[in-house]
Amino acid sequence: MWTGYRILIFSSLLTEIWMERQYVSQRQVDQEGAFTRNHTVLEGTRFKRAIFKGQYCRSFGCCEDRDDDCVTQFYEANALCYCDKFCERDIPDCCPDYKSFCHEEKEWPPHSEGCLRDGRHYEEGSAIKENCNSCTCSGQQWKCSQHVCLMQPELIEHVNNGDYGWTAQNYSQFWGMTLEEGFKYRLGTLPPSPKLLSMNEITAPLPAITDLPEFFVASYKWPGWTHGPLDQKNCAASWAFSTASVAADRIAIQSKGRYTANLSPQNLISCCPKNRHGCNSGSIDRAWWYLRKRGLVSHACYPLFKDQNATNNACAMASRSDGRGKRHATKPCPNNIEKSNRIYQCSPPYRVSSNETEIMKEIIHNGPVQAIMQVNEDFFHYKSGIYRHVKNEESEKYQKFRTHAVKLTGWGTLRGAQGRKEKFWIAANSWGKSWGENGYFRILRGVNESDIEKLIIAAWGQLTSSDEP
């Protein structure tokens, strides 16, 4: 079935042009019926002509006599229509605006060489962008580069027509990017180091909850103390976004709401020494190291830069110990609004067991956790539902996935694909609120979907006794 879609839709642009050309040649074959066109394809247009007043000949141009190349796409009828003078004898396959436009036209501009696109005529040599590929009109055909695009209409259709438990969507912020660019700029967590992977899993001595609730969301238990998704844009720094967000939630929960500020990912991106210019990916070990040794100011104090990729994003402040176990920022906040440049620090991070029940216990007692996951191409299209990776032949070919870091904030159960009851995690991504379910996504729970349960990290806030409530 997938192959079918591929053949049908693959490189829709070229196919469309090809189909037009083939249709035209068919028309040429039909010469013996000299003045009778083959109407079968276009029958529907007769009835619709009156309704559609779009620009066809008006944007395409009018041609002299019978000119079989003088066609443009008539979208409403999913067919081609003609703009030549031949139309005067034989109306049904003419464009709806033929009469009104071409009749009044004094001059009949010759139909020059070139290519068609969306009913428009392009000169030979013109270039257009088709999603992530650029196309040039050459020899009356579009020649396009062959990148795999981040947004794939055929994949969206495949997911939405299948029963996979989630829906896919075209995102304008991803349209026009190649898949490689998506991987390069929208993720940004380095694969976990062997050191991180060999960390001992801590089975926290948490009270044995015999009945974990079927549904849990951290923001319901701790309203105002957990932090929603930010937008990393084209800054490959999920290493910083997920770490700052988990740390902020944990500090708020641990201080029982005394410190509820979100922490600054930009502080990490610009200042974390080994991850400098951290929009080119970074490691979460380094992020947690920085939170422990240096600390972060709030997101309000050190907000995201407009151009996160700018190389002049030098670190705007450092922190210094006061000798009594606390650190203080060396400079005021790099903005005029926020005055508090308080430094927040964390304990060394610890690894939570990959056991689903243990992760749930950790979240319900101590707050959200960080999860490292593998992102495949379909994930970028996620709109709603319970995500599971949907494989297709095309992606098998290039087998691409990259590491990403997100925040797990809860779980639930729902009737999902094929009407089965399915368990899911609720996770916060860092692609803004317009992505997914208000910036969050749900993903299958308990089956290590996309490695989501492989490496779960958390930490405590470093609160001194004077910080305790």
Residue numbers annotated as active site: 404, 429
Q: Which of residues 300-339 bind ligand NAG (CB under 6 A)?
A: 309, 311
- In this structure, what token pair is assigned to residue 310? 């700018």
Strands (E), 115-255: 115-117, 120-122, 127-130, 133-138, 141-144, 166-168, 201-202, 216-217
Report which residue type is found at 121.
H
Hey, is 159 helix, strand or coil? helix
- In this structure, what token pair is assigned to residue 363? 């979240």
Q: How many residues bind ligand NAG (CB under 6 A)?
A: 20
Q: Which of residues 131-160 bind ligand NAG (CB under 6 A)?
A: 153
Contact call for residue 5 and ligand NAG (CB under 6 A): no
Contact call for residue 161 and ligand NAG (CB under 6 A): no
* Run of H or E including 286: helix 284-293
What CA–CA distance (Å, rounded) separates 362 from 346? Answer: 17
What CA–CA distance (Å, rounded) separates 433 from 229? Answer: 7
Q: x-or-dash pattern for ligand NAG, window 393-422, by CB under 6 A?
A: ------------------------------
Hey, is 403 helix, strand or coil? strand
Contact call for residue 79 and ligand NAG (CB under 6 A): no
Contact call for residue 380 and ligand NAG (CB under 6 A): no
Q: Which of residues 222-281 bind ligand NAG (CB under 6 A)?
A: 234
Dihedrals φ, ψ of 102, to 5°? -70, -30
Q: Which stretch binds ligand NAG (CB under 6 A): 160-168, 376-384, 413-421, 450-458?
A: 450-458
Q: Which of 430, 380, 462, 455 is nearest to 266 (CA)?
A: 430
Q: Which stretch binds ligand NAG (CB under 6 A): 136-144, 290-298, 323-331, 351-359?
A: 351-359
What CA–CA distance (Å, rounded) separates 242 from 262? Answer: 12
Q: How far is the CB of 397 from ligand NAG (least distance, A)?
A: 20
Cβ distance to ligand NAG smaller for residue 82 or 225: 82
What CA–CA distance (Å, rounded) separates 308 from 88? Answer: 60
Distance separating the N- and C-terminal Cα atoms of the chain:
61
Place of tokens 């190291």: 289
Residue 144, beta-bridge partner list:
135
Contact call for residue 40 and ligand NAG (CB under 6 A): yes
Contact call for residue 30 and ligand NAG (CB under 6 A): yes
Contact call for residue 357 and ligand NAG (CB under 6 A): yes
Cβ distance to ligand NAG smaller for residue 59 or 355: 355
Contact call for residue 38 and ligand NAG (CB under 6 A): yes
Length of the chain counted residue by residue: 469
Q: Which stretch binds ligand NAG (CB under 6 A): 169-177, 190-198, 256-264, 318-326?
A: 169-177
Q: Which residues bind ligand NAG (CB under 6 A)?
A: 30, 38, 40-41, 153, 170, 172, 175, 185, 234, 309, 311, 354-355, 357-358, 448, 451, 453-454
